[in-house]
Amino acid sequence: MPLHVRQCWYTDLYFTLSNMTDVAATDEALMLRYQTGDAGAFDLLYARHRGGLYRFIQRQCRNLGEGEELFQEVWINVIQARESYRIAAQFRTWLYTLAHHRLIDYFRKCRVIDSASFAATDEITHALPASRISEPEVIAEARQQGTMILRLLNELPAPQREAFLLYEEGGLSVEEIATTTGITFEAAKSRLRYAFAKLRDGLQEYA
């Protein structure tokens, strides 16, 4: 499912904007239009990515006020960088790269976590637990325990949490996660597998 379709139910604003003829335009085309002075193109871009980026930041920052400030700073960076924007990668990757760097700066400033851990390659020391996807009760419990996963998410290591959020909120692929966070593909893949494994184990324990 395309990302913009999957995100369209996030906000009413997106439904309003989806009626426009250029709703199918790619993020890159919208950014180029905004670069030429089309403010409406930025509204479309913002509507597509506001929710995912907001949650991506908030669920790592863990402070509502600071998270909103970081969220605004990232978008301001987008606005200021519109003149120099070139289509070298997907807009989504570029946007979350800006957010990733801003978060790294924030972590260094607040010493919340060791920012060096973002650059470290994860070592897989234990095998992933077996999947229980075939068990219907597990799925039902996961749906019911939506808030529980957020708690589990907060307990994840920061690199794994970031990889999971990039995958879920940003809709990035593993390769794009590697590009965004500046790590190798294998490292991104391992982070993501660890994140899923821990979340799944946590949900099973909760159940």
Partner 1 sequence: MMEPDLNNPEQPVRSAYREALRDEPPASLDAAIRAAARRAVAAKPQAFGKTGHQHWRTPLAAAATVLLTASVIFVAMDEHPETIISPLDKTPAITLPMPVPEPLPAQSAPETRTDNAWAAHQSMMMPGHLPQIAPPQNEQKNERKTAIARSEKIESENMYKAPKASIADTKRRAPSPPAVRAMPSTSVGLPSTPAVSTTPAAASTTSPSLKLAENADRAAQPASVGGAISSAKSGSAILSGEVLPGGVPSSGVSRASALPTVARARASVSVSVRVNADAIVNAKADVNLNANAAKTLPLSAVAGATSSGSLEKNEIIEPADVWIVRMSRLHTSGNNKELIEELVRFRKHYPIVTLPPALAEEWAKIDAEQMLQK
Minimum CB–partner distance for residue 148 and partner 1 (Å):
7
Whole-angstrom Cα distance, residue 26 to residue 1? 15
Whole-angstrom Cα distance, residue 64 to residue 58? 6
Amino acid letter, residue 87: I
By beta-carbon proximity to partner 1, the closer residue of 11 and 97 is: 11
| Residues within the interface to partner 1 (CB under 8 A) | 10-11, 13, 34, 37-39, 42-43, 46, 50-51, 54-55, 58, 68, 71-72, 75-76, 79-80, 82, 131-133, 138-139, 142-150, 153, 168, 173-176, 185, 189, 192-193, 196, 199-200, 203
Whole-angstrom Cα distance, residue 22 to residue 40? 10
By beta-carbon proximity to partner 1, the closer residue of 101 and 193 is: 193
Minimum CB–partner distance for residue 134 and partner 1 (Å):
10
Minimum CB–partner distance for residue 99 and partner 1 (Å):
13
Minimum CB–partner distance for residue 146 and partner 1 (Å):
3
For residue 30, give every residue at least 6 positions away whose Cβ sits within 8 Å of its Cβ, in sequence order, or none: 22, 41, 42, 44, 45, 91
Q: Tokens 């324990």, residue?
A: 205
